[in-house]
Amino acid sequence: MRTYGWLVASSICVGLSGPVCAQQPVSFADLQGAIIQTRVLYEREGLNNGRPFQNQGEVVNTITITSANSLTTSVVSTAQTPRGTRTSPTRSGAFTLGQPREVPSAGGGHVLWIFEDGKLINLRTFRAGGYRGTISCSRGPDGQRCAIRAAYAREAGVADWNWVSPITGTDIQMKSVKPISSSCEVSKR
């Protein structure tokens, strides 16, 4: 299993932060039964099977807090290109907090979810490089609130991120991933 230290301590990240919503941190127990939906829109540039591309891609993640230490996720990716819009099949998984596990999506890697100080954190490795998504949660006048910060990290000594596209199933070498907007919503089921 890969270690996650390089991902957590990475100094070469591309990030996006929403409004700060950590004034009143909530516990993971407070989120039990909650559905958190995040959307992040990226400007991306890279190689698809060796051919250059540029597009905007949106990743929508629906996270359901199912028990005192577990959650499920459902992720859909969409790419907007000059040839039209393409959407991936839904990728789903069940996770236990603090327990990394191997996943087959995007060409494989490991996923770890943790919760600390009112933040739900998702760490993900790819063939090369990784991802860190931090969802900051708080209480507001109308209920629970959240904001997402999404960041990709380069792997030491590797120039690009590398994964298999969930949309086309082809090899992707990502040169640049720049978040341009994000949203986060919390609801109870």
Which two structure tokens, joined as six digits, stand for 163?
Answer: 């994964």
Burial class (CB in 10 A: 0-12, 13-18, 19+), 17: middle
Domains of the chain: total: 1
Provide mean pLDDT across the span 50-70.
95
104-153 residue pLDDT tens: 998 899 999 999 999 999 999 998 999 999 999 998 888 899 999 999 98
Q: Residue 182 is part of which domain span?
A: 5-188
* H-assigned helices in 3-52: 5-8
State residue 38's pLDDT score: 98
State residue 35's pLDDT score: 97
How far out from the chain centre does Cα 35 lie? 15
Provide mean pLDDT across the span 37-59.
94
Mean pLDDT for all residues in the chain: 86
> Which residues, other chains included, contact 39 with Cβ-Cβ below 8 Å and sequence gap of 6+?
58, 59, 60, 182, 183, 184
